[in-house]
Amino acid sequence: MPSSKTSIGSGHGNAPALNTEPLESIESKELQEGGDVESGTQSPTPTLTLVADETAGHLSGFKLASVLSALLLSIFLVVLDRTIVATAIPVITSDFHSLGASSWIATVYFLTQAGCLLTFGQILSVAPTLWVYLTAIGIFELGSVFCGAARSMTVLIIGRAIAGMGSAGVMVACIAIVSQITRLDQRPMVFGFFAGTLALGSIVGPLLGGALTERASWRWCFLLNLPLGAITIGAVLLLLRPSNMQKGNPSNGSESMSLVAKILKIDWVGSVFYFSSATCILIALQSGGVDKPWNDKSIIILFAVGGALGIAFLLWEHRLGEKAVLPLRLFSRMTTVGASIDAFMIMLFVMVGTYYLPLFYQSARQRSAVQAGIDVLPFMLATVAGNVASSWITTRTGKPWPWLFGGPLVAALGSGLLFWALTNAATPSLGRVIAFQILLGVGAGSCVQQSLMIVQAEYRNEPKIIPQVSALMNALQLFGGMVGVAISGTIFSNKLRSGLTQYAPGLPDDIKNEIVASVTGIGQVPSEFLHPVLHSYSNALGYVFIMGVPVGVIASLAALLVEKHDLKRSRPIPGSTTATSTGGHTTPSAPTPLEMA
């Protein structure tokens, strides 16, 4: 990539002055040196300055690798914090004598994360991306301090809520930063690394949490975030230094607005509606079929209130138009509609495999929790391999759509074969289960990030909207995973109960209830009933995976709504011009919020 030396100074001392060389001149030099940037016009004020070895605000080489490493570390911390408590919860609840509040340690993190995604997406459209990222990391670290120093369950849960809020900002801000420091055709590989990091955190979290709890203290599950977070903050500050904030977008008349004024113009009412609706629905999904039956009055009320708040949210967003936290005009494009359906559906595969494959090994194969975590590695590694392979090929070809269409079908095939393997024999073949879970992982992994890439391409000419549409994809993925786990839990419980009645009719009802409530109940089963009970477990799990067949078909059909973008078609300069050109004329795009010096 050709080098370019542009710097921005503070206006005093010996600081270098802003390079005011016309953008057309820069582009002309780029073309003479073999670049591929299209001609365009200069924005009034550049919002992304160039550092040595960069072109049009895009990093390369060692600096790009260093920035991405810091971002990946922060994403790893976020997902680690989500999973590391799984093995520490029994000890935490024992220390605080609060067993009844144990579920909130994990649940409240998901609630605040889901509830703040869209809000951070809009904040990123008006505030400097770097400051938003650092603020989000700071919020996450503050929550970790609360958790690590907690002397009561209440303080711990408050800390988890704060950390969840920060994690939402970290996820969306990382995507926004990548969107501004890389070319569009480079991003599939970068987002592939993101997905791999998420999978790694999911694998390492429970194991690391158990080790820290056993050998040190459960508090280190949270305090570990502090030194690692400090490394991330230091690296990002060293490599990406913030300059003066862009004075608004000339196209909307906000160039003279201060940052405080812009923050006040955030759709806070819509954010409250969304957060409240998401909280009610997620609590209902977490509790329904687990702590309480689906027809319980409290679950019905939660769904009703969540639905009403959701309708109020949509009506409010319609009223606000472009000022909304979720501009509804995004859904006027069928590509956004199709990508949204795919983001929701595809995460079902990942979460169902993550939750229910270990349950198969713990129940039908009588493995310990740690051994089951090892047994499910083929699925997790296949998911990572599918993601990395599809990302690499997409980077080379520039075409993400084939993966969005074909990946769900491969995952659906793996799900269908798992159903066949688990229900076709009293003792399922371990080799078949491993092979089919690999097929499921490859299919799901190959398409899990493609929705995000599609919307990045769809809105390449509107960089200010990218954080919001990216936040939408993240929120839909989270909700998709939650809905998938909830539906799977209902299917599993119902099929397990009917299976126990069919295959073990003489089993006492109290033992049946223990078996349905927890896999540890198998230890109470008399030897003469053990085989039919294990068969009932396998059969019930098979019906969980058959759900993946219609889900995969729906996801592939949704891909037909999506435009077949070519990521290599053009490489627009962030903050200057759009990618499209007609008759030699280009339309200036909205400036990007990230600024570097």
User: What's the CATH code of the domain at 449?
Assistant: 1.20.1250.20
154: Cβ contacts below 8 Å, ≥ 6 apart: none
Position 338 scores a pLDDT of 94
pLDDT, one tens digit per residue, over 488-529 is 888 888 888 888 888 888 878 777 777 777 676 777 778 888
For the segment 230-252, the average pLDDT, to the nearest whole number, is 63
Considering the domain architecture, whether residues 414 and 369 belong to the same structural domain is answered as yes
Position 248 scores a pLDDT of 37
pLDDT, one tens digit per residue, over 524-553 is 778 888 888 888 888 888 999 999 999 999
518: Cβ contacts below 8 Å, ≥ 6 apart: none
CA distances from 412 to 158, 345, 385, 555 (A): 40, 11, 18, 10
385: Cβ contacts below 8 Å, ≥ 6 apart: 441, 442, 445
What total of structural domains would you count in the chain?
2
Asked if pLDDT for residue 426 goes beyond 80, the answer is: no
Position 358 scores a pLDDT of 82
Considering the domain architecture, whether residues 416 and 341 belong to the same structural domain is answered as yes
For the segment 170-195, the average pLDDT, to the nearest whole number, is 86
CA distances from 132 to 63, 122, 158, 179 (A): 21, 11, 22, 15
Position 17 scores a pLDDT of 40
Considering the domain architecture, whether residues 385 and 338 belong to the same structural domain is answered as yes
Cβ(97)–Cβ(145) below 8 Å: no
- Average pLDDT across the chain, whole number: 78
Position 290 scores a pLDDT of 66
Position 160 scores a pLDDT of 92
Asked if pLDDT for residue 22 goes beyond 50, the answer is: no
Is 316 part of a structural domain of the chain? yes
Considering the domain architecture, whether residues 320 and 343 belong to the same structural domain is answered as no
Position 3 scores a pLDDT of 41
Task: Report percent pLDDT > 90 for the chain.
Answer: 25
Task: Report percent pLDDT > 70 for the chain.
Answer: 81
Instruction: Return the ∠ at Cα 427 (arms to 425 and 432), rounded to 5°.
Output: 80
Q: pLDDT band at 364, cuts 50/70/90?
A: confident
For the segment 312-327, the average pLDDT, to the nearest whole number, is 90
Q: Return the closest-CA partner of residue 587 out of 597, 573, 574, 576.
A: 576
Considering the domain architecture, whether residues 413 and 476 belong to the same structural domain is answered as yes
Position 57 scores a pLDDT of 59
Is 392 part of a structural domain of the chain? yes
Q: pLDDT band at 9, cuts 50/70/90?
A: very low
Considering the domain architecture, whether residues 275 and 346 belong to the same structural domain is answered as no
Position 212 scores a pLDDT of 85
Q: pLDDT band at 272, cuts 50/70/90?
A: very high
Considering the domain architecture, whether residues 392 and 512 belong to the same structural domain is answered as yes
Is 380 part of a structural domain of the chain? yes
Q: pLDDT band at 305, cuts 50/70/90?
A: very high
For the segment 316-329, the average pLDDT, to the nearest whole number, is 89
Instruction: Return the ∠ at Cα 288 (arms to 494 and 81), rounded to 5°.
Output: 115
Is 357 part of a structural domain of the chain? yes
Residue 462 domain boundaries: 334-572
Cβ(415)–Cβ(348) below 8 Å: no
Q: pLDDT band at 255, cuts 50/70/90?
A: low
More confident residue, 204 or 423: 423
Q: pLDDT band at 27, cuts 50/70/90?
A: very low
Range with the lowest mean pLDDT among 3-12, 59-68, 290-299?
3-12
The tokens for 49 are 């300055």
Q: Is the entire prediction scored with pTM above 0.85?
A: no
For the segment 84-103, the average pLDDT, to the nearest whole number, is 75
Asked if pLDDT for residue 242 goes beyond 60, the answer is: no
Instruction: Return the ∠ at Cα 428 (arms to 348 and 438), rounded to 5°.
Output: 45
Considering the domain architecture, whether residues 425 and 517 belong to the same structural domain is answered as yes
Is 402 part of a structural domain of the chain? yes
Considering the domain architecture, whether residues 519 and 394 belong to the same structural domain is answered as yes
Q: At what angle do helices 548-559 and 430-447 cross, to 10 degrees?
A: 20
Asked if pLDDT for residue 473 goes beyond 50, the answer is: yes
Considering the domain architecture, whether residues 301 and 360 belong to the same structural domain is answered as no
Cβ(590)–Cβ(464) below 8 Å: yes
In angstroms, the CA 468 to CA 474 distance is 10
Position 589 scores a pLDDT of 38
Position 20 scores a pLDDT of 39
In angstroms, the CA 407 to CA 242 distance is 40
Position 217 scores a pLDDT of 86
Considering the domain architecture, whether residues 423 and 499 belong to the same structural domain is answered as yes
Considering the domain architecture, whether residues 386 and 295 belong to the same structural domain is answered as no
Last residue of a domain, one of 324, 355, 373: 324
